[in-house]
């Protein structure tokens, strides 16, 4: 049987044989094209996608952990540290290395004051890195290290620390655990203070387990700025101490005290009670963090009569000697009764302010008129931000004069029906103290870089003139009468100094309308020395129990703050306590070498001796070791001193002496 060739049919090549070269060509072309595509893709992967692939590989084999960044420091005007970043340790664990997790969790819970179950849950995760607790104190770190447990490790981070604790906390504010500013100056200047964050590289194996933790591989930061506040920490301490004592004594709900340089607008102190510790801010209520000097409004009461007086004199509506009938303490006006604390008949404008007559103020306001009074009130800065820059500063509220009824005009004249902030009041009051110029409050004195090179410095910013110098002088003379022996502010008197000020007692408004009959805001504002002020101070006591008049409650707090601040600043008294004979000291004055003058110590206080006739060297010898400071004027021997002999001063206090040369 003959075999046939399958590729031939009837002696001719089959159809399949004819198409074989074409198929072969197509197959070869396909594989060649595939090889070209693979080669091109390999080229792309090798050269063009290398950065992206490296990034993916790094993510798979390396983790970046963000650490708490460093923040720049905050200082007071004299360079005393108020806020700084300190190096602390944070605790982390590699659970895969810990053998007895339950035992370790039990030991850590006792040391760290954390829940046993919380720590155990962290240790039971299928990971090689978990935070246990961050920002440990050195004591806690030492206790954990003493456990000597494999799998527990420490990383250095930064923690914000406030060395003065609650003092100045409401102005300084605080930063959170992540080193971001949350309140106050810390929040306002967060971008300047915080450095770019530090990072920690964690390398992993193919299974995602940690194989290397480089605790020193931190990215370089570009540096942060440091901030110097206008605050004087010594005056801040004085204000905090006096306010705290006053709030406790009166059992008040709250209190505020702010000290300003009236010629620059610098805020030298800003105290608020109740206070809080920024090192442990989470333990306090959020309402305790609020800086009420900037964020809260209140009806000012009789301290507002100061600005009524300025408006009346500036508008040439009245003169200090003009007289008004004060209705013997009760006056029906606008359908309501206006009362005075004491009954008065005819009073001059000066005495209306001196005795704080509501009836007299209402009549002065009526004579000024709505539009003029409104205009000058607005010129003093009420009803708008002071532009201090403090976060959350309120604007207060002054209704348009077109909406004032007769009674509203009367109320505003003695400080009701208007909402103001303490920073507005002290800023406006400083305009009277400095001769009529309204300034912007200064909170930050300067900003420097990490090398202490200046970036920015504050300069007094004059918004405008609100009253003429002669009007400011007239108001000053009347405000000095308020602090005279028979004025409402007599408890603000300071030995050796003239004080100008105004008392205030305001009923608190009720949310339902009207005013509470048993809730008051007591206040006093003053500046000293009256004829050349160094400081202006506002004290506000919210809801004191018992006596509630501003002259009784707030004026003594003003006195304590002012007296100690003047000593600290070395301001010379208007009247020195002179030696018995106010003559030039001669050589006949002898100093008993056997019985040198010494300062007597009494607990934490020092009793001031009589320095009369001593040289400056002998005075310095007398105060050696007491902690007192001396400010002197002139040369020779002492002819006058302040405080007087026998007075008491705390350590750090200042004694001011005047010397006269030998004949």
Q: Which residues are catalytic?
A: 302
CA dist 233 and 286 (Å) reads 24
- How many Cβ atoms from other residues are within 10 Å of residue 374's Cβ? 22
- 564 CB-near residues (< 8 Å, 6+ apart): 238, 242, 653
CA dist 431 and 265 (Å) reads 9
Residue 649, phi then psi, degrees to nearest 5:
-130, 145
Q: Quickly list DSSP for 96-149.
A: GG-S-HHHHHHHHHHHHT--HHHHHHHHTSS-S-EEEEEEE-HHHHHHHHHH--
Per the document, the length of the chain is: 663
Written as six digits, the tokens of 515 are: 């005013």
CA dist 641 and 580 (Å) reads 12
Percent of the chain that is helix, strand, coil (3-state, to 5): 35, 25, 40
CA dist 7 and 20 (Å) reads 11
Written as six digits, the tokens of 541 are: 């006591």
Query: Which DSSP state fits 197?
Result: P
CA dist 353 and 347 (Å) reads 10
| Collapsed DSSP state (helix, strand, coil) of residue 429 | helix
Q: If you count DSSP H runs as helices and E runs as strands, how many of each does the chain have, helices first?
A: 21, 32
């Amino acid at each position: 049987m003959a075999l046939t060739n399958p590729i031939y049919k009837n002696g001719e090549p089959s159809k399949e044989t004819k198409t074989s070269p074409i198929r072969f060509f197509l197959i070869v072309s396909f594989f060649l094209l595939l090889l070209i595509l693979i080669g091109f893709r390999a080229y792309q992967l090798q050269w063009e996608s290398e950065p992206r692939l490296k990034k993916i590989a790094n993510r798979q084999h390396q983790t970046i952990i963000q650490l708490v960044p460093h923040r720049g420091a905050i200082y007071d005007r004299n360079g005393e540290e108020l806020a700084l970043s300190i190096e602390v340790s944070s605790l982390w664990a590699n659970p895969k290395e810990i053998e007895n997790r339950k035992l370790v969790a039990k030991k850590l819970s006792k040391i760290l004051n954390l829940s046993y179950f919380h720590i155990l849950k962290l240790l039971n995760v299928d990971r090689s890195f978990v935070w246990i607790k961050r920002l440990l104190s050195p004591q806690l770190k030492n206790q954990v290290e003493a456990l000597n447990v494999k799998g527990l490790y420490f990383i250095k981070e930064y923690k914000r620390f406030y060395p003065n604790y609650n003092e100045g906390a409401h102005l300084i504010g605080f930063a959170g655990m992540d080193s971001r500013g949350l309140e106050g100056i810390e929040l306002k200047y967060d971008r300047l203070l915080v450095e770019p964050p530090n990072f920690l590289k964690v390398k992993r194996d193919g299974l995602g387990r940690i194989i290397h933790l480089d605790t020193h591989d931190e990215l370089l930061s570009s540096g942060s700025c440091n901030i110097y506040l206008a605050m004087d920490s010594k005056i801040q301490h004085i204000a905090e101490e006096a306010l705290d004592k006053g709030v406790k004594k009166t059992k008040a709900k709250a209190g505020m005290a702010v000290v300003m340089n009236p010629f620059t607008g610098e805020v030298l102190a800003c105290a608020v009670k109740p206070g809080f510790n920024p090192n442990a801010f989470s333990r306090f209520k959020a309402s305790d963090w609020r800086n009420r000097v900037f964020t809260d409004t209140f009806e000012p009461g009789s301290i507002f009569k100061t600005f009524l007086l300025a408006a009346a004199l500036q508008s040439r509506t009245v003169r200090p000697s003009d007289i008004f009938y004060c209705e013997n303490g009760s006056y029906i006006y606008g359908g309501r009764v206006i009362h005075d604390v004491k009954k008065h008949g005819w009073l001059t404008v000066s005495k209306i302010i001196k005795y704080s007559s509501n009836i007299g103020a209402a009549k002065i306001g009526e004579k000024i008129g709505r539009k003029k009074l409104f205009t000058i009130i607005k010129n003093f800065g009420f009803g708008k931000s002071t532009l201090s820059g403090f976060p959350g500063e309120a604007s207060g509220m002054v209704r348009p004069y077109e909406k004032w009824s007769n009674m509203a005009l009367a109320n505003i004249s003695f400080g009701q029906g208007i909402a103001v902030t303490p920073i507005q009041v002290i800023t406006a009051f400083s305009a009277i103290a400095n001769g009529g110029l309204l300034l912007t409050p200064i909170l930050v004195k300067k900003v420097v870089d990490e090398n202490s090179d200046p970036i920015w410095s504050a300069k007094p910013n004059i918004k405008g003139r609100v009253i003429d110098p002669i009007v400011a002088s007239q108001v000053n003379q009347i405000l000095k009468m308020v602090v005279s022996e028979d004025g409402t502010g007599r408890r603000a008197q300071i030995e050796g100094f003239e004080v100008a000020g105004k008392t205030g007692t305001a009923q608190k408004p009720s949310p339902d309308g009207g005013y509470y009959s048993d809730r008051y805001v007591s206040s006093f504002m003053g500046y000293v020395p009256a004829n050349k002020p160094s400081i202006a101070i506002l004290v506000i006591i919210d809801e004191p129990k018992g006596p509630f008049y501003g002259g009784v409650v707030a004026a003594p707090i003003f006195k304590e703050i002012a007296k100690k601040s003047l000593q600290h600043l070395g301001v010379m008294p208007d009247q020195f306590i002179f030696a018995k004979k106010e003559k030039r000291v001669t050589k006949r004055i002898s100093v008993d070498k056997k019985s040198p003058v010494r300062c007597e110590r009494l607990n934490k206080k020092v009793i001031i001796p009589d320095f009369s006739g001593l040289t400056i060297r002998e005075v310095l010898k007398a105060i050696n070791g007491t902690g007192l400071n001396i400010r002197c004027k002139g040369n020779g021997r002492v002819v006058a001193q302040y405080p007087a002999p026998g007075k008491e001063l705390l350590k750090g206090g200042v004694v001011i002496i005047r010397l006269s040369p030998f004949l």
